[in-house]
């Protein structure tokens, strides 16, 4: 089992640790509900060092990434980050990721921990004929997410840099606490916030400095449990639950990151699917009956089995039992009812629009 | 905090006996393992259970757990307050967070349950 550079910090904080994507990760420190609410109302700090960082450089870097991802890369400006995906030839999803444009010929890809090796191999295989260099630096880089309405205020305690100049989905390479880091205004919670990438051996220095900086702002350490309920409420897909190599980007409700004007792996299959029309699609739902839906619970449409719940949980801010589910396209209209099997009994649920939660600007 | 007067099970339920009535709940250890309880699916009053049957289920944000009947008998009362405030099980597991009352069918079963000191050994073991 791998450990992040903050493993000892989590143990000292009394975190409950669980295996996740090959890492021993904190699932919660005190209570998922308290951590979730802290992020919505004040701020939370997450160790997400398990995430993969793959660097792509060389004269064909942009051209290569443009080809292997579904969203626009070539027109990105230096200092921008963008949500993107690697599609398969069938238009299904190898992984979803963030692309950071560090320089004209240098990019950082932030990928899911469980997929880092698979992605790296995929990139190696597809990069034949392109003049690019690929480096998997995941083990050498820490990633800390500081999320919530108080994030900027807390971060400003440890840097004089004008943080308001870093707009949503932009980043800067800068020195904080004497260490070169990448600081982006990004996150996976639906709140304002930042993600910091730096050398693994400096992780504890940043964690401790931020914890101290946030002491009077109600900052709480938050685990993977709250990270999951926050992203679910905010209507964000989770790889492995909501999409994988059996679901296309269109089915996974990710057409917004499919750039039809460019050529890329999987475009042909996706275009064909778009023209023929989708047969199923990922939608949000909430329970009509009582009961907590969970990933893998069986779904019934018109009394017949139809797959399983993609994501499901009680979500603390909206105080509802909600989730994501693939339904036949004719059953995806808002209000459409279906059933979920919970402990042997069928419970009614209905389609509702995503996101379940949207922050006030 | 482990009330001396209660009986305990290896699956972390407690039983408080008053005459032929046995009030059942889950222990402080169990609630702290679950955390963030958001739903308690209570059984119906009048249902008969055998020792070891699933009595009810408890959902926390992260997981689902089943509670087993520590004794056999008829369920004569359920804690309706948990429908609106399932978090009472977290806040007061031995008091307001009780789950059901079972009318004891076979009081001899109590002798197979654990004392507070034995249960303490189990969870601290």
Kindly state whether B32 is in contact with chain A, defined as any CB-CB distance less than 8 angstroms.
no
- CB < 8 Å to B59, chain A: 291-292, 314
- Read off the pLDDT of residues A165-205 as tens digits, 9 standing for 90 and up: 999 999 999 999 999 999 999 999 999 999 999 999 999 99
- B91-111 core/surface letters (b: 16 or more CB in 10 A; e: else): eebbeebbbbbbbbbeeebee
**Which of the listed CATH numbers 3.40.50.300, 3.30.1360.120, 3.40.50.2300, 3.20.20.80 matches domain A2-49+139-233?**
3.30.1360.120
Fold adopted by A52-137: Alpha-Beta Plaits (3.30.70)
Q: What is the pLDDT of residue B125?
A: 77
- Read off the pLDDT of residues A70-94 as tens digits, 9 standing for 90 and up: 999 999 999 999 999 999 999 999 9
Q: What is the pLDDT of residue A360?
A: 83
Of B35, B41, B61, the CB nearest to A313: B61
Give residue A259's pLDDT band: very low, low, confident or very high (50, 70, 90): very high
pLDDT at A361 over 80: no
How many residues appear in chain A?
A: 361
- Read off the pLDDT of residues A317-351 as tens digits, 9 standing for 90 and up: 999 999 999 999 999 999 999 999 999 999 999 99
pLDDT at A138 over 90: yes
Residue ranges per domain, chain B? 7-105
pLDDT at A265 over 90: yes
Tell me how far apart the alpha carbons of residues A5 and B38 are, in angstroms, rounded to a whole number.
33
pLDDT at A62 over 90: yes
Q: SS3 of B70, please?
A: coil
- Which helix (DSSP H) or strand (DSSP E) does residue A248 occupy? none
Q: What is the pLDDT of residue B1?
A: 73
Are residues B35 and A229, on separate chains, in Cβ contact within 8 Å? Answer: no
β-strands B48-49, B73-78 pairing: antiparallel
Are residues A294 and B64, on separate chains, in Cβ contact within 8 Å? Answer: yes
- CB < 8 Å to A31, chain B: 35-36
- Read off the pLDDT of residues B29-59 as tens digits, 9 standing for 90 and up: 999 999 999 999 999 999 999 999 999 999 9
Q: What is the pLDDT of residue A246?
A: 98
| Nearest-Cα residue of chain B relative to residue A225 | B62
Residue ranges per domain, chain A? 2-49+139-233, 52-137, 255-352
ipTM for the predicted complex: 0.89
Tell me how far apart the alpha carbons of residues A302 and A288 are, in angstroms, rounded to a whole number.
16
Question: Mean pLDDT for chain A?
Answer: 98
Share of chain A above pLDDT 70, in %: 100
Give residue A119's pLDDT band: very low, low, confident or very high (50, 70, 90): very high
Fold adopted by B7-105: OB fold (Dihydrolipoamide Acetyltransferase, E2P) (2.40.50)
How close, in Å, is residue B39 to chain A by CA atoms?
7
Of A31, A290, A292, the CB nearest to B64: A292
Are residues A314 and B38, on separate chains, in Cβ contact within 8 Å? Answer: yes
Contact partners, residue A307, CB within 8 Å, separation at least 6:
A298, A299, A325, A326
Share of chain B above pLDDT 70, in %: 100
What mean pLDDT comes out for the span A144-163?
A: 98
Q: Give the DSSP per-residue string, A276-335.
A: H--SEEEEEEEESSSS---TT-EEEETTEEEEEEEEEEEETTTTEEEEEEEEEGGG-STT
Are residues A343 and B39, on separate chains, in Cβ contact within 8 Å? Answer: no
How close, in Å, is residue A49 to chain B by CA atoms?
22
- With beta carbons less than 8 A apart as the criterion, state whether A137 and A54 touch: yes
Sheet containing A193-199, strands listed edge to edge, beginning at the edge strand earlier in sequence: A171-176, A179-184, A193-199, A141-147, A43-47, A219-221
What mean pLDDT comes out for the span A143-172?
A: 98
How close, in Å, is residue B32 to chain A by CA atoms?
10
Q: What is the pTM of this model?
A: 0.95
CATH assignment, A255-352:
2.40.30.110
Neighbours of A223 (CB within 10 A): 28
Kindly state whether A344 is in contact with chain B, defined as any CB-CB distance less than 8 angstroms.
no
């Amino acid at each position: 089992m791998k450990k992040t550079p903050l493993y000892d910090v989590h143990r000292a904080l009394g975190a409950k640790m669980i295996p996740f994507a090959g890492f021993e990760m904190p699932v919660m420190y005190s209570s998922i509900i308290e951590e979730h609410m802290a992020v919505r109302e004040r701020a939370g700090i997450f160790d997400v060092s398990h995430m993969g960082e793959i660097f792509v450089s060389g004269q064909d870097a942009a051209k290569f990434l443009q080809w292997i991802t579904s969203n626009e890369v070539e027109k990105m400006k230096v200092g921008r980050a963008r949500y993107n995906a690697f599609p398969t030839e069938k238009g299904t999803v190898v992984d979803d990721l963030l692309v950071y444009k560090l320089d004209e010929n240098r990019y950082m890809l932030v990928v899911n921990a469980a997929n880092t090796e698979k992605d790296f191999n995929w990139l190696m295989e597809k990069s034949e004929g392109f003049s690019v260099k690929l480096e998997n630096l995941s083990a050498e880089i820490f990633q800390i997410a500081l999320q919530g309405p108080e994030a900027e205020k807390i971060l400003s305690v440890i840097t004089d840099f004008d943080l308001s100049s870093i707009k949503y989905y932009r980043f800067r390479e800068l020195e904080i606490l004497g260490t070169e880091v990448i600081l982006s205004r990004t996150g996976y919670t639906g709140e304002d916030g930042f993600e910091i990438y730096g050398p693994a051996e400096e992780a504890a220095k940043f964690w401790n400095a931020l914890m101290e900086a946030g002491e009077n702002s109600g900052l709480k350490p938050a685990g993977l449990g709250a990270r999951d309920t926050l992203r679910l409420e905010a209507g964000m897909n989770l790889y492995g639950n909501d999409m994988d190599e059996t679901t296309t980007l269109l089915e996974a409700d990710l057409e917004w990151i499919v750039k039809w004007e460019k050529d890329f792996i999987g475009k042909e299959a996706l275009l064909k699917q778009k023209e023929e029309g989708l047969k199923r699609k990922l939608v949000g739902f909430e329970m009509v009956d009582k009961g907590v839906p969970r990933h893998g619970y069986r779904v019934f449409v018109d009394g017949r089995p139809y797959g399983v719940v993609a994501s499901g949980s009680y979500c603390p801010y909206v105080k509802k039992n909600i989730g994501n589910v693939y339904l036949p396209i004719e059953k995806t209209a808002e209000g459409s009812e279906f059933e979920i099997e919970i402990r042997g009994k069928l419970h009614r649920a209905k389609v509702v629009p995503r996101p379940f939660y949207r922050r006030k600007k | 905090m482990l009330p001396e007067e209660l009986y305990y099970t290896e699956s972390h339920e407690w039983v408080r006996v008053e005459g032929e009535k046995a009030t059942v709940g889950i222990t402080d250890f169990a609630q702290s393992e679950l955390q963030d309880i958001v739903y308690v699916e209570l059984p119906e009053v009048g249902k008969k259970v055998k020792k070891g049957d699933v009595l009810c289920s408890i959902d926390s944000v992260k997981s689902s757990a089943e509670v087993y009947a520590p004794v056999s008998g008829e369920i004569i009362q359920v804690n309706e307050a948990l429908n609106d405030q399932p978090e009472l099980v977290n806040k007061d597991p031995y008091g307001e967070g009780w789950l059901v009352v079972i009318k004891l069918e076979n009081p001899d079963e109590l002798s197979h349950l654990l004392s507070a000191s034995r249960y303490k050994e189990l969870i601290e073991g």
